[in-house]
Homo-oligomer: A and B are copies of this chain.
Amino acid sequence: MLLGLTGGRLLPSPRRCLLHCRHIKSAATAASGVGDGVLSAFRSICGEEGVSLGEAVREQHGKDESVHRCRPPDVVVFPRCVEEVSALAKVCHKHRLPIIPFGTGTGLEGGVGAVKGGVCFSLRNMEQVLDLHPEDFDVTVEPGVTRKALNAYLRDTGLWFPVDPGADASLCGMAATSASGTNAVRYGTMRENVMNLEVVLADGSIVHTAGKGRRPRKTSAGYNLTNLFVGSEGTLGIITKTTLRLYGIPEAMVSAVCSFPSVQAAVDSTVQTLQAGVPIARIEFLDDVMIDACNRFSSLSYPVTPTLFLEFHGSEQSLQEQVKTAEDITQSNGGSDFQWARDTETRNRLWKARHDAWYAALALRPGCKAYSTDVCVPLSRLPQIIVETKEDLIENRLTGPIAGHVGDGNFHCLMVVDPNNPEEMHRVHLFTERLARRALAMDGTCTGEHGVGLGKRALLCEEMGPVGIQVMRSLKDTLDPNNLMNPGKILQREEP
């Protein structure tokens, strides 16, 4: 079963691309080793229109949604199938050229920057939904398929893919960064929902992490290669297919908003709701600054206090019970009455406001940039870390509303910063390091779902300790001995 999904993104026209290529080719060539021979080889694999040296195209592929500066690749290639990805990778391998996979560019830790130049593999032309098996609750997708495109495709099947990081990211990119988001408390992260991957390795060989075409719901057959590549951020290989678990669309969904007198009260309510066995689908925390920003940006009028956005999935009858239990718990912690979003439109507006938190934060300081940093701690440590972090923000005169997937102990500070003010940028940098170290001191992690990328390599060393880092480095050296796959990400290395 195949479907070509037509994305809204535009390829540069072949004509423009070629003219542009001729213009800047020599500059790129000189610096990077991407010579005429290499470009000819690329063109013979994926056509004239599948190779771009255009400055705008390169710049577009050199940055994500973080504040890490643009690091354009020397050339961008647009393969159309795994065979082309493999052939292109073989050329790169032969010429020792870095390979940087690119999905939608919605990452948050600088994962797509070509810090050593090289070849960006833009995978947007591989956009087929393959092998949907509704009765087995699984589907396989190519890297150009985003989560919204997949769910649109699934609409008539009664199934959906629930992992939702907010951005309309590529599903293979979500696998590569081990993404999660608002629904993870109920449905898990990408780690729990990827069943198999097709990966092109640094030498161009193709591996299926659970064996070609396999999709059992569980397996004990050998090492878990699937979860070695999930979260590897393009540093071990290029993900060219992902097989995902699907879920039945719940009979009913209802959302609610509840305001609390304190962070502690909101978090206590969360822990008690989970302890009570309520299978809550989403439980999102917004601090007073964040809800204020959302109110302004999305024309809402919630009280400006610590707030939970909740969502319940299930049958009509089970929803009643879930909601009653959650209401009893929140009220015993001093929470407000629930404000309801029952119909789809109101519910969508509510979650749009949550997903627009980024823009709401930005609107607090027009002209600034947003930088979302992410940590995760055991649930019981959330109140303390949030209170300390808010004090830190005030003390250091920083704007950083807090929003988080509180059922997982995961939260973000949406730092709003003037990129032209180096002193403020430095203060933000120091703040994010303090935040990560605070999480590490509380048995947590420096990143719950954004990944390491460029921004958290030093923190990863502190988190893992020297033996853990050594094991990670040895895995990288084994699978990518020439350090070609997205070099400079996750692990820091000595320059040769």
Contacts and interface: CB of A to CB of B under 8 A. Distances in A.
A339 interface: no
A460 B230 contact: no
Interface string A178-198: 111000100011011000000
Given A191-B227, A192-B192, A227-B227, A447 B221 contact: yes
Contacts of A227: 191, 224, 227-228
A468 to B, nearest CB: 5
Contacts of A180: 218
A151 interface: no
A382 to B, nearest CB: 10
A223 B231 contact: yes
Contact of A211 (B211, B221, B376, B445): B445
A452 interface: yes
Contacts of A275: 158, 248
A408 B217 CA distance: 6
A409 B217 CA distance: 7
Interface string A440-481: 100111111111100010001001110110011011111100
B222 A464 contact: yes
A192 B136 CA distance: 20
A214 to B, nearest CB: 5
A217 B475 CA distance: 24
Contact of A378 (B133, B192, B248): B133
Nearest to A232: B223
A218 B136 CA distance: 26
A443 B379 contact: no
A24 interface: no
Interface stretch (A15-23, A56-64, A255-263, A310-318): A310-318
A301 interface: no
A220 B177 contact: yes
Interface in A153-204: 158, 177-180, 184, 188-189, 191-192, 201
In this complex, the member of A184, A277, A474, A479 whose beta carbon has the largest number of chain B beta carbons within 10 angstroms is A277
A467 B207 contact: yes
Contact of A136 (B205, B380, B410, B448): B380
A343 B252 CA distance: 32
A174 B284 CA distance: 34
A251 interface: yes
Contact of A467 (B206, B216, B277): B206
A479 B474 contact: yes
A376 B217 contact: yes
Contact of A314 (B232, B277, B452): B277
A209 interface: yes
Nearest to A190: B220
Contacts of A220: 177-179, 231, 445, 447-452
Contacts of A282: none
B251 A216 contact: no
Interface of A: 133, 135-138, 158, 177-180, 184, 188-189, 191-192, 201, 205-225, 227-228, 230-232, 236, 248, 250-251, 271, 274-277, 279, 314-315, 317-318, 321, 325, 376-380, 408-410, 439-440, 443-452, 456, 460, 463-465, 467-468, 471-472, 474-479, 490-491
Give 4 nearest A-B pairs by CB, closest first: A227-B227, A136-B378, A216-B376, A219-B445
8 contacts: A138-B378, A191-B227, A214-B444, A216-B377, A216-B445, A220-B447, A227-B227, A478-B478
Given A135-B380, A178-B220, A220-B452, 9 more contacts: A138-B378, A205-B467, A208-B468, A221-B464, A222-B463, A224-B231, A225-B471, A318-B318, A478-B478
